[in-house]
Amino acid sequence: MQINQNKLKQRLILLSFIASILLTGLKFFAYYLTSSNAILSDALESIINVIASGFAFYSIYLSAQPKDRNHPYGHGKIEFFSAGFEGALIIIASLFIIIEAVKRFIEPAPIQNLAQGSLFILFTIFVNTAIGYKLLTEGKKANSLALVADGRHLMSDSISSAMLILSVGLILLTGLQWIDSAASLLFGVFLAYSGFVLLKKSVAGLMDATDDVLLDKVVQTLRANKKPDWIDVHNLRVQQYGSDLHIDCHLTLPYYWELQKVHESIHDFENILKEHHNGETEIFVHADPCLEQCCYFCRIADCPVRQHAFLKDIEWDAANLVKNEKLYNEAKINIHE
């Protein structure tokens, strides 16, 4: 399943790479017909699509390689680097586009054949939207930041091209050619913001910052499949390496259990987490023995060593499960209440 998923990711990013080359050529041809600065800006930004898609293809290929001695956690983090590289290229392109737009404000140039050029841009909008949506959908399923980043880039390219078509329509209706440079300037600002967001997320991934959405997904999986024997989960940490996950936590189990039973319970715990993630999931679980205070929220009905009656469940949420302490402190608060 993991091999098939990697092949799907490689095919999708290869499709994006080939399409980016063809569409960039169409946009430059549209600029050749029109001499529009806004169309030139769109074409220049598409060069970034080509470079970024090529690098993303390599990063996805590399992230699929097995772990080795030098990379014990795999090669998945290359996808964060790929997204950051794409974000940096987008910002550079946006600065160039903004400078060119300002120059055109100062020194206007004639625009021609806008209607014909717009037909090519409309075609690129359709193709970019279709491929971008597919990359976003599959990227989110596979937790692949490289696919998501490339998909969002293509979708933002479609939005900017739609803005371009709107500006062309306004020029044809009003005859005001300064609209062309204004649209190019707005496009550059929009592009710079998109690149900054992408770069920020890439840096967060490389720095192992907490992904709240991913953490909540893991917590929801544990809550939905909670077993009575899982007395407590704490010190939960979730890290993403490409489309793969690394999860470690402490699991509190009855202290009187034999080692074999502890092993089986942890194995079940791991399998449940793995079944709810499409990519490879590596899980390290540290088994903790229960304490007397755990009785207040322990649901083992026939426990032979119970010291206190069950009081109430403690909410399993991200705020509680990431703490590096058993949840009995929370139980004490509830008791006093």
d(CA 251, CA 14): 42
The pLDDT assigned to 221 comes to 94
For residues 309-337, average pLDDT = 73
> Does the pLDDT of residue 13 top 90, yes or no?
no
Answer whether residue 183 shows pLDDT above 80.
no
- The pair of three-digit structure tokens given for residue 277, joined into one six-digit string: 């993630």
Q: What is the pLDDT averaged over residues 236-247?
A: 83
- The DSSP bridge partners found for residue 109 are none
Interior/surface letters 194-225, b for 16+ CB within 10 angstroms, e for the rest: bbeebbebbeebeeeeebeebbeebbeebeee
Most confident of 183-192, 235-244, 315-324: 315-324
> Residue 3: pLDDT above 70?
no
Q: For position 143, what pLDDT does the model report?
A: 72
Average pLDDT over residues 124-149: 83
Tally the C-alpha atoms within 13 A of residue 59's C-alpha that lie toward its C-beta: 28
pLDDT value, residue 284: 94
Q: CATH topology for 2-206?
A: Alpha-lytic protease prodomain-like (1.20.1510)
What pLDDT is attached to residue 190?
81
User: Is the CB of residue 155 less than 8 Å from the CB of residue 142?
Assistant: no
User: Dihedral through CA 312, CA 315, CA 319, CA 320, nearest 10?
Assistant: 40
**What distance in Å separates the CA atoms of residue 35 and residue 37, rounded to the nearest whole number?**
6
Indicate whether 230 pLDDT > 90: yes
Q: Over the chain, what is the mean pLDDT?
A: 82
Taking the whole predicted model, whether its pTM rises above 0.85 is answered as no
Q: What is the CATH code of the structural domain delimited by 212-336? A: 3.30.70.1350
pLDDT of residue 242: 66
> What pLDDT does residue 32 have?
81
pLDDT at 215: 92
- The model's pLDDT over 193-211, given as tens digits with 9 standing for 90+, comes to 888 888 888 888 778 778 8
What is the pLDDT at residue 335?
44
Tell whether the model's pLDDT for residue 330 goes beyond 60: no
Structure tokens at 176: 């005001």
| Sequence spans of domains, the chain | 2-206, 212-336
> Can you tell me the distance from the alpha carbon of 59 to that of 13, in angstroms, rounded to the nearest whole number?
10
In percent, the amount of the chain with pLDDT more than 90 equals 21
Stronger pLDDT, 107 or 191, i.e. the higher one: 191
Per-residue pLDDT reduced to its tens digit, 140-173: 777 777 788 788 778 877 877 777 777 777 777 7
Q: Would you state the pLDDT for residue 337?
A: 43
The per-residue pLDDT for range 17-55, each reduced to its tens digit, is: 888 888 888 888 888 887 776 677 777 777 877 888 888
| 70 vs 263, more confident | 263
What does the angle CA 98 – CA 101 – CA 103 come to, to the nearest 5 degrees?
110
Residue type present at position 192: A
Contacts of 227 (CB under 8 A, 6+ apart): 265, 268, 269
